[in-house]
Structure 1
């Protein structure tokens, strides 16, 4: 309920205009967004690399309205990949891509064109030693995203995907993806979804998360445990005890629980930070505020004390 209310308010045009146009919001945005350009993103990668933390990089932007924007997104990712390779930062790092940013929603041929762009981007990324993961968006796009994933994995088997435990369908999707070599980032989900398709109660989302994690591990997949919930982190550590090193990894968002990620790294786990950057940050920022009351409170305090 909290997330739905916050996302509903954030979606109002006047609120969006107020937040994006205010200089007071920028210091808070910088807590969750690495910057607006490739140089800023590479700086974040270097800083994390010094602590043994890998990265997944996201060029912010989604739901483009013109094909030219989709092509610009591909170009931005290509520049990012080239920058990682030139800086000697390609190994172990990856890019994360939303298909809506590649034009998935642009008319009847949008899904096919978005998949074509994703394939071209993946070819460029893997040629430079950079992995690719397809982000998951709201429930209306799950089937299209999984279809695109099958196309990419036919050529680039390491292509990762994301599953959201809040959705009723996810245990079945996890079972389908639970096989060796399958890279799956498991998240709770940050979209405002109707009760017909998603668990409204946190307890049920958490139970589904652990159930899906067990399924992926038992099937030999490579789960990317993406959560800031310390209880689930501890459960995941227990599930990984006795398994081969590197059977999974832990992921957290840029600006959140950095100390915990470093603790996990010191304990010998593979760890990664999701690093978003770019000028189109509002939708991502809104979802971060909606995830936890503490994030919204931090934002409110910052505006008052600025």
Structure 2
């Protein structure tokens, strides 16, 4: 019920006005959404962490707005060090207007990223965009084999999707989706996540383990050892501002740790969806805030 309430709030213009105007909210958001993305990336890189950045924009209602999102992604590519990644939301590139439009725009970003030694990961959103997401990913991989894709463990066919992504970069996260027949309870989502980890670690994909859950992090590490993967055979991904000490601890052990750095004015929907993805994130964000006070 809390998850659904948070998702509903994320879509409420009135709630956005109230929450965005709160000084307390702005203080919390500033710790989890980069004000100066170039400076933030530089600092994280200095600490031995990798990054993936996501430009947060509003809903795209026409082609001009989609083109504006493409320009924002092209601009940020110029400030990223080699080995970085950009997380691209296809709805920001016009997916709800036209799948071809989103594909063309995503291809433009991939073409600009490759010469700079950067990768692109297609992010997942509402359940009605999942088919388009995987269709576009399949097409893009023919010309851009390094393009990654998100699989949400809450999907009923998450493990099957992972099994089909041979050789792909796959970001596995829990997800805030409400899907008919999907995994509803946190325990079911966790079990699905563990099943997906087994599939990915045993296969030829490059797993990107996007979670802060200590149990799932431990399962991922154990499976990597059992399947003979070294530190270059997978990576952990965590949100900017959440468990920074754990990020540095893992990196200090030689693990590849990538920090998801959102930036831009459209932070409200992102922030509320991250809380909805796992209501325990409310406690994580609160602890992160207290640890930096």
TM-score of the alignment, normalized to the shorter chain, above 0.5:
yes
How many residue pairs get matched? 284
CA displacement at 1:139 relative to structure 2: 1.4
| Superposition map of 1:84-163 within 5 A | 84=80, 89=81, 91-106=82-97, 110-163=98-151
Match of 2:67 among 65, 71, 74: 71
The alpha carbon displacement at 1:2 in A equals: 1.8
Structure 1: which 5+ runs fail to align?
none
Q: Does 1:46 align with 2:28?
A: no
> Shift of the alpha carbon at 1:53?
0.5
Which 4+ runs in 1 deviate beyond 4 A? 296-299
Report the Cα offset of residue 282 of structure 1. 0.7
SS at match of 1:32: coil
Contact 1:58-1:95 at 8 Å conserved across structures: yes
Kept after mapping to 1: 8 A contact 2:137/2:149: yes
RMSD (CA atoms): 1.7
Structure 2: 5+ residue runs without aligned partners? Answer: none
Distance 1:203 1:298 in 2: 21
2:192 is matched with 208
How far apart are the structure 2 equivalents of 1:77 and 1:298?
27
CA distance in 1: counterparts of 2:90 and 2:181, whole angstroms: 21
3-state SS of paired residue (2:87): strand
Mapped contact 2:242–2:285 kept (Cα < 8 A): no
CA distance in 2, matches of 1:154, 1:10: 35
Report what 1:187 is aligned to. 173
Question: Contact 2:34–2:263 at 8 Å: present in 1 too?
Answer: yes
The whole-number CA distance in structure 2 between the counterparts of 1:55 and 1:170 is 25
Tell me, yes or no, if the aligned pair for 1:139 and 1:197 is still in contact at 8 Å: no
Q: What is the distance in 2 between the residues matched to 1:297 and 1:124?
A: 35
- Alpha-carbon shift at residue 22 of structure 1 (Å): 3.3
The equivalent position to 1:198 in structure 2, one of 176, 182, 207, is: 182
Q: Is the 8 A contact 1:115 1:148 kept in 2?
A: yes
Aligned pair in 2 of structure 1 residues 132, 297: CA closer, same or farther (>3 Å)?
Answer: closer
Correspondent of 1:234 among 218, 237, 252: 218
Please give the alpha-carbon distance, in whole angstroms, between the structure 2 residues aligned to 1:214 and 1:15: 40
1:93-137 deviations in Å (ceiling 9; x for gaps): 11010000001101xxx1111100100111011122111000011
1:57 deviation in Å?
0.4
Q: Distance in 1 between matches of 2:55 and 2:221?
A: 30
1:289–1:296: 8 Å Cα contact kept in structure 2? no
CA deviation string 1:181-201 (max 9, x = no partner): x1000000023x14x232111
User: If the length of structure 2 is used for normalisation, what is the TM-score?
Assistant: 0.92
Q: 1:63–1:103: 8 Å Cα contact kept in structure 2?
A: no
Post-superposition shift, 1:295? 2.1
Distance 1:11 1:98 in 2: 17
1:173 aligns with 2:158: no
Q: Specify whether residues 59 and 297 from structure 1 end up closer, same or farther in structure 2 by C-alpha distance, changes over 3 A only.
A: closer
The equivalent position to 1:295 in structure 2, one of 273, 276, 282, is 282
Cα distance in 2 for residues equivalent to 1:238 and 1:49: 27
Instruction: Identify the residue that residue 57 of structure 2 maps to in structure 1.
Output: 61
- Deviation, 1:298, is 6.0
Q: 2:229 aligns with which of 226, 244, 262?
A: 244
Find the aligned partners of 2:53 and 2:269 in 1 and give their Cα distance: 16
Q: Single out whichever of 143-152 and 1-10 deviates more from structure 2.
A: 1-10
SS at match of 2:79: helix
Conserved? CA contact 1:63–1:105, under 8 Å: no
Counterpart CA distance in 2 for 1:205 and 1:289 is 15
